[in-house]
Amino acid sequence: MNRLVMEHLFPSGVRLQLVQGDITAESVDAIVNAANPYLAHGAGVAGAILRAGGTVIQDESRQWVREHGPVTHDEPAYTPAGELPCRYVIHAVGPEWGEGDEDAKLRSAIQGSLRLAERLDLESIAIPAISTGIFGFPSDRAARVILSAIMDYLVSSPESKMAVVRVVLYDQATVQAFLEVWEQDDHLSA
């Protein structure tokens, strides 16, 4: 069962939430998958999403890549959610640690996911700690990048239809890293 850890209400009415649990259990309009450019879903978050949502997600992902080519950091792909309790899976490509310009690429993946959610006319989204698993991005650094990317997007998009943005974190160490960043941010801790 997923557990709400922290919540911030923006003046626009959007709720930013930190949640500990399983992103595949989120009943939101879309969940974000930590993907690779070819949408070959194997391990980590991608593997969990595929196992819970079914093979339609991989089939649709292959079709996406055939039609559009490899997915970039700033332009995520999306597919139906199969058996998941959401409508879509947004496939965001985060950076591998050590490839260079990782902060900017992660920021781009987060904001690209939010822009895509807007284009799809969605009101709720759940985002994992992209790149912190097999891609090796340090959790504390990712927490700063992810939370600031979300906040900057929400502040700069007051006309957004987005009502809830959830950052869903699986393990306690990652939750702790995000909590520390959250508590240090004057806008979130106020």
Question: Which backbone phi and psi does 57 adopt, to 5 degrees?
Answer: -65, -45
- Going by their DSSP bridges, the two strands 15-20 and 164-169 should be labelled as parallel
Q: What is the CATH number of domain 3-185?
A: 3.40.220.10
Segment 83-100, tens digit of pLDDT: 999 999 999 999 999 999
Rounded CA-CA distance 10/31 in Å is: 21
Backbone CA torsion sign across 108, 111, 106, 133: negative
- Summarised one tens digit per residue, pLDDT across range 100-149 is 999 999 999 999 999 999 999 999 999 999 999 888 899 999 999 999 99
pLDDT in tens, 32-69: 999 999 999 888 888 899 999 999 999 999 999 999 99
pLDDT of residue 190 exceeding 60: no
Contact (Cβ atoms closer than 8 angstroms) between residue 128 and residue 164: no
The confidence score (pLDDT) of residue 144 equals 96
The residue with tokens 């998009």 is 157
How far is residue 24 from each of residues 20, 125, 144, 167, measured CA to CA in Å?
12, 12, 24, 13
